[in-house]
Structure 1
């Protein structure tokens, strides 16, 4: 990144301002159906069962976030969890934004808000996610997160395409490990 690019990179306060009339919140079980629909409509995420989104909102609400419109309806979400074998690492499972809300910096605001929240509950030194090759929106989201937080990004294939049982139609999942983080 050149100095000029660094000057243009959004700061945390810039992203918070882009939320406008949206607010970040903890997901509730009642949000599960809306999160499933947002994931389905993204047409890029692996769609899990509707049941799994209900469970996620119940069991992992403290490490996930939902963006709500003025009527309280979910318009975006991030699901995540703290890795049991690495309790200082937040793994981001899915990021999805309703089509009408895209291009506003909402995913970045949710990611910053969630990681700050999790860091406030305990020690958070790294963030992980997996991205399929060619998903440039996710690649940009997580590399810009690393830049905003002064962290490095390490990449390696976590799950090769041959590990997926669905007939080889799944691309490999590349692990992005971002850190060290400081809050």
Structure 2
């Protein structure tokens, strides 16, 4: 797994119109957030902070039970860190999702489920702002929201918390159970 260090740097690449993370050793990560959704400070060079590293580790631990390859987990975690730090505030778009019974209060980094008329998908909670949360699609397959509209892997949407349901991931124990 990719381990953060103090040489990592966020910067905006004009040529590619994208936020990038310089990982050193000639490795660069391209953030999936469209530039129109970035706050102003994302366009200035800044360091990958201790808080960023802590958030990255939190997300990696949260998604460890997902059936994703190690590179996909790193991609999801790095995009989630970028979203938590640089994504502009947005209004909820809850109408795509089925309302669930009972109130739900997700925590940052939690994997939750969201249902549409076209299927279910798992999302990573980036930020809970009380009654709604910024979420990132954690499934590699696109999630169809409506006819002709879908969200891609690492796509971001804000959703009212009453649309969410708890997901229980089976953590790998690494043990053989013998009877």
TM-score category (smaller protein) = under 0.3
Q: Which has the larger radius of gyration?
A: 2
Q: Of Structure 1 and Structure 2, which has the larger fraction of its residues in helix?
A: 1
TM-score of the aligned structures, taking structure 1 as reference length: 0.26
